[in-house]
Structure 1
Amino acid sequence: MSDVAMPSSADATIAVSIHGPAGVLDLVVPAGATSVDVAREYAKQAEVPGIPLLQTALGQRLNASLPLGDAGVQAGDVLVATTGVHRPRKVTLLQAAKNAPESPALASMIATIAALAAVLAAWYAGRAGEETVRTVAVGILLACALVSVIPVGRHLRQRSAAAPAFAAAAAFAALYEPGIHLLPAILGAAGISAAVVAGIGRALSASSDEISTVWIVSGLAVFACCALPALLGWDARVAWTLLVFGSMMAARFAPSLAIDVPDEALLDLDRLAVTAWSARDSQRGGRRGRIVVGADAMERLVHRASRIVTGASVAILVTVLVASPLLLQSATIDLDVIGARCLVFFAGCSLLLAARSYRHAAARALLRLAGLGALTALAVHLVVGPGAPHLGSFFYVVVGLGGIALAAAVATGRGWRSVWWSRRAEVAESLCGSFAFASAVVAAGVFRRLWEITS
């Protein structure tokens, strides 16, 4: 290949096809060769006078100072040898979008922003006094939800993940009426709408989607927690209590439900085939048993579990951020107020401690945000809520600053990974869960109801 030295590695070569005035010529060139070297070799073998210019199939001229590997030329590409410089053909916006490479991260960000915009649109349409605005908003949101689950086009996974949010927003905008007593039923309808659209997307998809599974489970759980108290005529704080307590428990059980390893992936078949007679014979030659552990299968398992845990963490974050302020706002009687405050406090602490055991960075951050969101809602309620005394507010601020200082001290030291802090964190997490369960009975009004009956 002209006077360019061949690299020592055999896989550092590129096979290209060059179309020119003398026909098509296939060359295997080093990745470090420039376009001038390849053009000189083409002119030599094709017996073409002069050295032509090399361009890509789209008409973009290759830089003569860059090697082909750095210029983006890959094995099997088609190059064009010409004596003149041609301008690259004009590409329309639609063609550029079709030819653009896949970008899952960007698509996920856009889908998240679209879901947030749908929630804001539903909130505005529900509170707007005009029925025309509400009808148009509901129609647009519902159309976006149904179109997003159609298995046509690119970024289907990201679109299907955002579609239930549009359905929930459409249900909220259609059913919202002023009055906190109707809010549990409205959120229950939004949850079942999201579950239905997620189920449609899962049925139309060729492969199983873990995010759709999380949407279905979360939507049905919200519907059960909100619709059951509404049907039985219970107070709204019962629904918010169930949602806060359920979110705290979901943070503990989500990782165990996400890891679903098939039996044939982790079983040693040779050991299972050992009988009473063959067990007496010692293996010779250090023969290894056949353990069925496929690398591709384990990689798919890890990605699947990662998506489930991340989706569950997002659902926990949204539920806690919505239910915690509503629970604190709906509790008006002194005994119920104490139970609601204790439930939100212990649930937030339990979420912060549960995030410690997560090794997935995104899920750990989302659970910490959920815990901090619950504690922030409690702090705001204590400081600026109705009947908040100044001395009590000062006491709460001092205790909060002490907790922040303790967390900062642990983080700057060896952290929760040290044995001493890890053991105490396990005990603290168990205590917070137990106290939260006891507080849920008081926050829902069950304890006060029994007290009134027996007194």
Structure 2
Amino acid sequence: MTGATTLQPRSARPMHAKGENVSDVAMPSSADATIAVSVHGPAGVLDLVVPAAATSLDVAREYAKQAEVPGIPLLQSALGQRLNAALPLADAGVQAGDVLVATSGVHRPRKITMREAAKNAPESPALASMIATVATLFAVLAAWYAGRAQDETVRTAVVGILLACALAGALPVGRHVRQRAAAAPAFAAAAAFAAFYEPGVHLLPAILGAAGISAAVVASIGRALSVHGDEISTVWIVSGLTVFACCALPTLRGWDDRVAWTLLVFLAMMAARFAPSLAIDVPDEALLDLDRLAVTAWSARDSQRGGRRGRIVVAADAMERLVHRASRIVTGASVAILVTVVVASPLLLHSATIDLDRIGARCLVFFAGCSLLLAARSYRHAAARGLLRLAGLGALTALAAHLVVGPGGRLLDTFFYVVVGLGVIALAAAVATGRGWRSVWWSRRAEVAESLCGSFAFAAAVVAAGIFRRLWEMTS
């Protein structure tokens, strides 16, 4: 049953200028003062054009009159919420085109539990990444506390919890699989550190090597179980194996600990230059040779001439996947570089106790930090560029702290270092303010400076590792 009518409540009787009653029903003065609604009830559907000041009781009364329904039904929204009979429709949130339900009883909407709400909520990768990062930091703090705790029960409990979290995060089930798989190797590394940590600097390379191989194993498990290949797991595997090789080789050979820290700082500096080349590698099956696409069988047999240049393009969806893959690789590699440099630089400066080795360690950390800062300018990825800058600043901060409070630090030297540091900061700020880094002249100078810093860092690594001093002692 359908119909159209104009409803005016009896309480709103227009008055003549002299105060005389005109009519019980009047047309609204403007279209904005009316609301067109559809009322669904037991007798069918009724379309009404009602004033905005009408209440749900007025609409229900009109529906009962038009549909010839005994009694006055109750009105509720399409979601099952009962409309207040004392409020006008406009104040109750009813808009033009809404559907109202006339019923004898009120049907409350079904309550949704927290579990169903969490299940139906859309995925938020940014929030999941932030939560995974915070969880990783707490895992590192828990491992540090458990390793230094004297109670074996506490250590065993923390190691078990961290291992359980690592294995649960590597499983490709549930939501936010990519974020959990990226954080799972960090829990495994924290568990290995908490399990094998013992007081004594001489055991630290072996402990970090065990943590690196544990992270690589858990990342390999997550990659094997995952349906799609994960680039962050690949970065974890490469980084864990590299840390294990750099820390296990000096330990097995009986070399000094500074050899491991030297290798880590130098390889982290070099990784900043080679990571983008791995990220932009395009597989051959993603390329399309337009000159070899045959329209007919005869054109496929037509051989190409040698002087013609081939036109090769990449499909749009393949290019999008390539960009996302490269972004994840570069970001993961930058995080690995940041963690390695921040951890290995203070350890290298602390382990260099002989004067000649100390000079080499300071030079290596300085040139590695400058090289990372200069390498960051060639990155177009904002997150990777920021992470590399933090890595360079972390290395220089460790060097500054070692020069101030380390062995041989004097008040005059501290004043000299502070003045030079402030001068470098002022120069960088002046160049950045004038946007000089974007010019061709500054770009060429920065490229030359980056190459020089890499060369000097390689030379300083020989001195920092003690090779130069050992050769000097053998020939003297």
| Counterpart for residue 409 of structure 1 | 430
Please, which moves more after superposition, 290-299 or 252-261? Answer: 290-299
| Counterpart for residue 387 of structure 1 | 408
Give the counterpart letter for 2:253 in structure 1. Answer: L
Question: Kindly tell me: are residues 338 and 298 of structure 1, through their superposed partners in 2, closer, same or farther at Cα, counting changes over 3 Å?
Answer: same
1:160 aligns with 2:190: no
Mapped to 1, the partners of 2:81 and 2:330 lie a distance apart of: 47
Q: How does 1:145-184 map to 2 (within 5 A)?
A: 145-184=166-205
| Counterpart for residue 11 of structure 1 | none
Give the counterpart letter for 2:452 in structure 1. Answer: L
- Select 1:420's aligned residue among 436, 441, 453: 441
Question: Kindly tell me: are residues 113 and 23 of structure 1, through their superposed partners in 2, closer, same or farther at Cα, counting changes over 3 Å?
Answer: farther
Mapped to 2, the partners of 1:229 and 1:281 lie a distance apart of: 55
Checking the alignment, whether the CA contact within 8 Å between 1:264 and 1:292 is kept in structure 2 is no
1:55 aligns with 2:78: yes
TM-score by length of 2: 0.79
Give the counterpart letter for 1:207 in structure 2. Answer: H
Q: How does 1:109-148 map to 2 (within 5 A)?
A: 109-148=130-169
Q: Secondary structure at the match of 2:95?
A: coil
The CA deviation string for residues 145-171 of structure 1, in whole angstroms up to 9 with x for no partner, is 011111211111111110000000000
Checking the alignment, whether the CA contact within 8 Å between 1:172 and 1:189 is kept in structure 2 is yes
- Deviation of 1:91 (Å): 2.1
| Counterpart for residue 32 of structure 1 | none
Question: Kindly tell me: are residues 223 and 19 of structure 1, through their superposed partners in 2, closer, same or farther at Cα, counting changes over 3 Å?
Answer: farther
Percent identity (aligned): 77
- Deviation of 1:359 (Å): 0.3
1:439 aligns with 2:439: no
- Deviation of 1:259 (Å): 1.3
Checking the alignment, whether the CA contact within 8 Å between 1:340 and 1:439 is kept in structure 2 is yes
- Deviation of 1:239 (Å): 0.3
Q: How does 1:327-366 map to 2 (within 5 A)?
A: 327-366=348-387
In the alignment of these two chains, the number of paired residues is 409
The CA deviation string for residues 202-254 of structure 1, in whole angstroms up to 9 with x for no partner, is 01111101110110000000000001100000000000000000000000000
Mapped to 1, the partners of 2:427 and 2:195 lie a distance apart of: 46
- Select 1:185's aligned residue among 201, 206, 211: 206
- Deviation of 1:268 (Å): 2.5
| Counterpart for residue 375 of structure 1 | 396
Question: Kindly tell me: are residues 393 and 95 of structure 1, through their superposed partners in 2, closer, same or farther at Cα, counting changes over 3 Å?
Answer: same
Mapped to 2, the partners of 1:418 and 1:308 lie a distance apart of: 28
Checking the alignment, whether the CA contact within 8 Å between 1:22 and 1:48 is kept in structure 2 is no
Mapped to 2, the partners of 1:407 and 1:432 lie a distance apart of: 17
Mapped to 2, the partners of 1:2 and 1:312 lie a distance apart of: 68
| Counterpart for residue 19 of structure 2 | none
Checking the alignment, whether the CA contact within 8 Å between 2:165 and 2:187 is kept in structure 1 is yes
The CA deviation string for residues 389-420 of structure 1, in whole angstroms up to 9 with x for no partner, is 11111111111111101110111012311111
- Deviation of 1:333 (Å): 0.2
- Select 2:249's aligned residue among 204, 210, 228: 228
| Counterpart for residue 247 of structure 1 | 268
Mapped to 2, the partners of 1:249 and 1:82 lie a distance apart of: 73
Checking the alignment, whether the CA contact within 8 Å between 1:150 and 1:201 is kept in structure 2 is yes
Structure 2 gaps of 5+ residues are: 5-37, 46-55, 84-91
Please, which moves more after superposition, 142-151 or 444-453? Answer: 142-151
Q: How does 1:294-309 map to 2 (within 5 A)?
A: 294-309=315-330
| Counterpart for residue 429 of structure 1 | 450
- Deviation of 1:311 (Å): 0.5
| Counterpart for residue 64 of structure 1 | 94
| Counterpart for residue 319 of structure 1 | 340
Mapped to 1, the partners of 2:457 and 2:464 lie a distance apart of: 10
Instruction: Compute the RMSD of aligned alpha carbons.
Output: 3.3
The CA deviation string for residues 349-394 of structure 1, in whole angstroms up to 9 with x for no partner, is 0000000000000000000000000000000000111220111111
- Select 1:396's aligned residue among 403, 417, 421: 417
Mapped to 2, the partners of 1:237 and 1:24 lie a distance apart of: 86
- Deviation of 1:178 (Å): 0.5
Please, which moves more after superposition, 177-186 or 89-98? Answer: 89-98
Give the counterpart letter for 1:169 in structure 2. Answer: A
Q: How does 1:188-227 map to 2 (within 5 A)?
A: 188-227=209-248
Mapped to 1, the partners of 2:44 and 2:416 lie a distance apart of: 83
Question: Kindly tell me: are residues 279 and 173 of structure 1, through their superposed partners in 2, closer, same or farther at Cα, counting changes over 3 Å?
Answer: closer
Mapped to 2, the partners of 1:167 and 1:48 lie a distance apart of: 73
Please, which moves more after superposition, 248-257 or 270-279? Answer: 270-279
Give the counterpart letter for 1:368 in structure 2. Answer: R
The CA deviation string for residues 122-155 of structure 1, in whole angstroms up to 9 with x for no partner, is 0000000111111111001001101111121111
| Counterpart for residue 103 of structure 1 | 124
- Deviation of 1:52 (Å): 5.9
